[in-house]
Amino acid sequence: MEVQATMAGSVWKINVNEGDQVEEGQDIVILESMKMEIPVSVEKNGVVKQLKVQEGDFVNEGDVIAVVE
């Protein structure tokens, strides 16, 4: 499952590491857009297989942030 950016912004914080167990609804990344923090959460339980961004990266809406399996 791919976790996508919900809007354009920069990656402010990454709360998980690759290999971490995550639960449905958990905020794995926090984006910053227009001076507001936008949490991005996972839709299903799983394991973070890959993180595609680093803190400070710029992402567009729809960009893949992480892969969770």
Partner 1 sequence: MINKLLIANRGEIAARIIRTCKKMGIQTVAVYSEADQHAPYVAMADESFSLGGPRPAESYMNAGKIIGIAKEAGVDAIHPGYGFLSENGAFAKSVEEAGFIFIGPDSDVIDQMGRKIAARKIMAKAGLPIIPGTDEAVQTSEEAVMFAKQVGYPVMLKASAGGGGIGLQVVHSDDELVSIFENNLKRAQTFFGDGSMFIEKQIANARHVEIQLLADHYGNVIHLFDRECSIQRRNQKIIEEAPSPFISEKTRQAMAKAAVHAAKSLGYTNSGTIEFLVDDKERFYFLEMNTRIQVEHPVTEEITGIDIIAEQINIAAGKQISRNQEAVVRDGHAIEARIYAEDPKTFFPSPGHIKTFKIPESEHVRLETAVKENYDVTPYYDPMICKLVTRGKTRKEAISHLHGALNHLQIEGIKTNIPMLLNIVNHDEFQKGNTTTAFIQKHYLPSIK
Shortest spacing between CB 49 and partner 1, in angstroms: 27
Question: What residues numbered 48-67 form the site for partner 1, per CB under 8 A?
Answer: none
Shortest spacing between CB 54 and partner 1, in angstroms: 15
Are 1 and 44 within 8 A, CB to CB?
Answer: yes
Q: Which residues contact 36 (CB under 8 A, 6 or more apart)?
A: none
33 counts as binding partner 1 under rule CB under 8 A = yes
The two tokens of residue 29 are 């990344």
Are 60 and 3 within 8 A, CB to CB?
Answer: no
10 counts as binding partner 1 under rule CB under 8 A = yes
Q: Which of 27, 30, 38, 63 touches partner 1 by CB under 8 A?
A: 38
